[in-house]
Amino acid sequence: MEVKINSKCSKNAKKKVTSQVEIGAIAPDFTAKTPDGKVVSLKQSLGKVTIIDFWASWCGPCRKENPNVVAMYNELHTKGLNILGFSLDSESTKWKDAIVKDKLTWTQISNLKEWEDPIVKLYNIEQIPTTFVLDASGKIVARDLRGEELKSKVIELLNKK
């Protein structure tokens, strides 16, 4: 398995960030397929505190962060946390193997188009892992939080319900 070892896995090209995905904006809806081919939309995932987690099987920092996200999900899912994983993989087998190995039990989707995916472009993803934290209405309230900072933000949002 080829895994990048820098602190973030990035695309070389710089992109212009648009207001569509800034904190305070409503997250743009999208659809993609699960590993078993079911089409899932972001809109279907809303109604709870939701994390959109952009990652890939080949991204070392993403895989290193996964145990923290799994622990948080296991603790807070029953209290209202939802996660939607979006993979920048291009190979279905590697993507599916990583989901199983890392015990990612929440909904996973991908178009298997890496950096050329329209959703990656819509969200101006320049590096992974990238996370967006949404409130129950779908408003972006935080971006790129990790570890305890991410968990604290999720707990704060869950307590506002």
Number of domains observed in the structure of the chain: 1
Token code pair at residue 126:
């320049």
Domain housing 136: 33-159
Query: Would residue 7 count as lying in a domain?
Result: no
Give the list of residues 6+ apart from residue 130 with CB closer than 8 angstroms, or none: 53, 54, 123, 143, 144
Buried residues in 41-78 as b, exposed as e (16+ CB within 10 A): ebeebbebbbbbbbbbbbbbbbbebbeebbebbeebee
What is the reported pLDDT for 8?
61
Q: What average pLDDT does the segment 2-31 reach?
A: 67
Query: Would residue 19 count as lying in a domain?
Result: no
pLDDT digits (tens, 9 = 90+) for 70-107: 999 999 999 999 999 999 999 999 999 999 999 999 99
Burial class (CB in 10 A: 0-12, 13-18, 19+), 130: buried
Give φ, ψ of 97 to 5 degrees.
-60, -40
Query: Would residue 26 count as lying in a domain?
Result: no
Query: Would residue 118 count as lying in a domain?
Result: yes
Q: What is the CATH number of the domain that holds 124?
A: 3.40.30.10
Query: Would residue 70 count as lying in a domain?
Result: yes
What is the reported pLDDT for 6?
42
Give the list of residues 6+ apart from residue 95 with CB closer than 8 angstroms, or none: 35, 56, 57, 87, 89, 108, 110, 112
Of 84, 85, 99, the C-alpha closest to 46 is: 84
pLDDT digits (tens, 9 = 90+) for 39-61: 999 999 899 999 999 999 999 99
Query: Would residue 127 count as lying in a domain?
Result: yes
Query: Would residue 24 count as lying in a domain?
Result: no
Among all chains, which residue has been given the structure tokens 């997250």? Answer: 27
